[in-house]
A and B are shown apart, each in its own frame.
Chain A
Amino acid sequence: MRRYLEGSHAVAEIVRLCKAQVISAYPITPQTHIVESLAQMVADGELNAEFINVESEHSAASVVQGASATGVRTYTATTSQGLLYMIEVLYSIAGLRLPVVLTCANRAVSSPINIWNDHQDSVTVRDAGWLQFYAENNQEACDLHLMAYRLAEDHNIMLPVMVCMDGYILTHAYEVVDLPEQSQVDKFLPDFKPIHCLNPDEPVSMGVLMGPESYIETRYAIHQTMMDALNVIPGIADEFEQVFGRKVHCLIEKYRLEDATQVFVAMGSMVGTVKEIVDGLREDGQKVGLLKVIAHRPFPKRIVYEALKNAREIAVLEKAISLGEEGPLLSDVKSAFCGQGNQPKISGFVLGLGGRDITKKSILEVHDALSGSQVDVKFIDLKI
């Protein structure tokens, strides 16, 4: 059913359709509209769930951890300081292989305090053992949440999933989204069947102490699972298409990449702006294209390489930076070329931090810089 909805509300509708049973969250702008919508659905009896108001994000994550370990489907959402406050628990959830789904309404991190969008929050926690997907628009945000539950609870995966959607730019934007029917969702997403759960009939001890003799294997298993997920995802995406009649990209999306020699690489909502620039430059006869990265973790390195291998100049556009180094996505893209015969110019551009507008001019500035020498970190639209 096509509806004109705010991004936050649309995501809440998907969580309702996925029948999350325990929801816990702590308010932080710009995540609030999502959890407020869910609280209302529970209050109105439209969603049969426990909505747990907590005293911090640390506890929000801990509540969904406990609930997931008890065998029910869970949901939480946060951003920025809230996500950073959760970090410990994020690692613990992944370590216990609990299929929690979290929406990150991406926002800059303090200090200075800033409530507008960039990707520094979720990029900072990319090593926590969560699958991480970045949405370009609200339809994609909805579809990625459906995929998130399905993947998280797949017995070959059993890992938490974070769906990242740009704060305000998506969470507060009204767009037409195609919401699925309950019957479709039920078909795509069977009931959650835990592998282990807290149950007096079959007691287990979870979260045990592991020494040097067994710890590293748990990390290996998570990493291996992430790698396996790269192979599992396309099959589930096919199923998604069969059930919902719509394609879902989960790893990358190629945009006018055939014969492109200059390629932009980007994540999240700025992809929309970049697409327009690509169209314009193409009209001028320039061979430019775009690679949209959706899965930041697991990073589909081989697929990225295959998509980019014919490019001569690559511009990685990022709303985050590893201060003192370069943009994390830039490092990932560079590593995809490591040891390969062809070595294109791969430059990194940092832009849009703290909600600074990414205009067409910004992207054109990146394009202009592309023909120069390779740069690791070039800030765009800087007023210094």
Chain B
Amino acid sequence: MVTELFSSGHTACAGCGQALGARLVVETTGPNVIIANATGCLEVFTSRYPESAWGVPWIHSLFQNAAAVASGVEAALRIKGKLDQVRVISQGGDGATADIGMASLSGMFDRGHDILYVCYDNEAYMNTGVQRSGLTPFGSRTTTSPSGKKSFGNPRPKKNIPEIANAHNVPYVATASVAFPKDLQKKVKRALSIRGPKYIQIFVPCPLGWRHDPGLTYEIAKLVVETGLYPILEYQDGKLISVKTIEAAKPVDEYLKLQGRYAHLFTERGKDEIAKIQTIADSNIKKYGLLKEGKEAQKKMAAEKLAEEKIFTTAELSKCDGKDGRPAYFAYKGKVYDTAGSDRWADGAHYNTHFAGSDLTDALVEAPHGDEVFERFKIVGVLKA
């Protein structure tokens, strides 16, 4: 399907990741949205009067106020009773989001507006000619963080906006990359299914600013994830609910060497800097569990989610008594827990006072510990009395 919500004929550079990201987003939202866009490349290349690439209602005001303008749109829809039919999107580049528009974004989060904010992260101020922003990565050179005898480019790491969003108790926060369009679209859909503020940050290569071949947009957007430099995460109510895992992390230079913005690092002097960038990737991998362990953690998360939906009757539970190789489960306040792995439980019994297969809710009142101990057990389902 050639979409008519984001039309061809826009004037982005060939291979622009942001054009791709924006198209994927609006194709997912469908026509019943209103978009408030910050100043930046996306605004410029889609709205040169008398033309517009947008097939949905769209407004641009200034560089730093897209979140506030969207808040006004949302308030107007609310008072008109139309918020059920029309969704509101606010969007901008990384500069608009992480720097000059940070306060208005924080205000939008804080007030709890029903708005999805999308940050197109091309890691610099592109529209004004590739200057450094708060999301420019360590070691990348821009026109205001150039490399030189005394400089290896940008000396600071990226601000962690998803965590800042989480600190606002935003119900849904995610990162994505245009190399994984289905993942991105799934996240936009999920975000729109949730009421309240949402934040999605999308990695969007910029061939012009990053100085790479326009045909490498897809490859670069993939490599950044495969190296661990750009963790693809999903948080719900501040909890990490999914990470995009990687089979084996690729070394960062595979990613860096494709881009002119890192060319100055491929010298004798630059080796140490590349090593530092590798450290950033390594620590992401560890922090977010991007490798195998991550996969296991994810499996556990998924299993718990699934398990919560598995319903046990009292009769079924009683069969899980740990005898004759049967699993040893117990119930507490409606949840069914697995005792496996606990050294306080043996053969389906806990100090020979409490037994698997039963509901221990009342028993806990007498116990020398509180229900915090249950955090150690895996939830396998819910008990239906």
Tell whether A pairs with B.
yes
Q: Are A200 and B44 in contact (CB under 8 A)?
A: no
CB within 8 Å of A: which of B42-84?
43-44, 46-50, 52, 54-62, 64-65, 67-80
B33 at the interface (CB under 8 A from A): yes
Q: Are A206 and B72 in contact (CB under 8 A)?
A: no
Q: Known pairs A56-B104, A68-B76, A198-B58. 11 more at Cβ < 8 A?
A: A48-B79, A56-B103, A64-B72, A65-B72, A72-B79, A198-B34, A205-B59, A206-B58, A208-B49, A208-B52, A210-B49
Question: With A62-B68, A198-B73 as given contacts, are A203 and B80 in contact (CB-CB < 8 Å)?
Answer: no
Identify the A interface with B (CB < 8 A).
21-22, 24, 48-50, 52-56, 58-59, 62-72, 74, 88-89, 92, 96, 198-200, 202-211, 214
- Tell me, rounded to whole Å, the shortest Cβ–Cβ distance linking A129 to chain B: 14
Query: Which stretch (B106-114, B266-274, B357-365) binds chain A?
Result: B106-114
Q: Are B54 and A22 in contact (CB under 8 A)?
A: no
**Residue of A55, A70, A208, A210 with most chain B CB atoms under a 10 A cut-off:** A70
Tell me which of A52, A58, A203, A207 contacts B104 (CB under 8 A). Answer: A58
Q: Are A63 and B68 in contact (CB under 8 A)?
A: yes
Report the nearest B residue to A218, measured CB to CB. B49
Q: Are B79 and A89 in contact (CB under 8 A)?
A: no
Q: Are A22 and B33 in contact (CB under 8 A)?
A: no
Q: Are B111 and A53 in contact (CB under 8 A)?
A: yes
**A317 to B59, alpha carbons, bound, how many Å?**
42
Measured between beta carbons, the chain B residues less than 8 angstroms from A198 are 34, 57-59, 73
- Tell me, rounded to whole Å, the shortest Cβ–Cβ distance linking A57 to chain B: 10
Q: Are A62 and B75 in contact (CB under 8 A)?
A: no
B32 at the interface (CB under 8 A from A): yes
Question: With A69-B59, A89-B62, A200-B34 as given contacts, are A63 and B54 in contact (CB-CB < 8 Å)?
Answer: no
Can you list the 7 inter-chain pairs with the closest CB atoms, starting with the nearest?
Answer: A66-B72, A62-B68, A70-B76, A205-B52, A207-B60, A59-B68, A55-B107
**A241 to B300, alpha carbons, bound, how many Å?**
74
- Tell me, rounded to whole Å, the shortest Cβ–Cβ distance linking A235 to chain B: 30
CB within 8 Å of A: which of B79-100?
79-80, 85-86
Report the nearest A residue to B74, measured CB to CB. A66
**A342 to B384, alpha carbons, bound, how many Å?**
97
**A208 to B61, alpha carbons, bound, how many Å?**
9
Q: Are B47 and A205 in contact (CB under 8 A)?
A: yes
Q: Are B52 and A62 in contact (CB under 8 A)?
A: no
Q: Are B106 and A52 in contact (CB under 8 A)?
A: no
- Tell me, rounded to whole Å, the shortest Cβ–Cβ distance linking B348 to chain A: 57
Q: Are B111 and A22 in contact (CB under 8 A)?
A: no
**A208 to B103, alpha carbons, bound, how many Å?**
24
CB within 8 Å of A: which of B301-333?
none
**Residue of B47, B61, B72, B106 with most chain A CB atoms under a 10 A cut-off:** B72
Question: With A206-B59, A209-B43 as given contacts, are A214 and B50 in contact (CB-CB < 8 Å)?
Answer: yes
**A58 to B38, alpha carbons, bound, how many Å?**
14
- Tell me, rounded to whole Å, the shortest Cβ–Cβ distance linking B199 to chain A: 17
Report the nearest B residue to A22, measured CB to CB. B75
Question: With A66-B69, A88-B62, A209-B43 as given contacts, are A200 and B32 in contact (CB-CB < 8 Å)?
Answer: yes
**A198 to B88, alpha carbons, bound, how many Å?**
11
A-B pairs with beta carbons under 8 Å apart, 7 shown: A52-B72, A62-B104, A66-B71, A67-B75, A69-B59, A208-B47, A211-B49
Q: Are A52 and B56 in contact (CB under 8 A)?
A: no
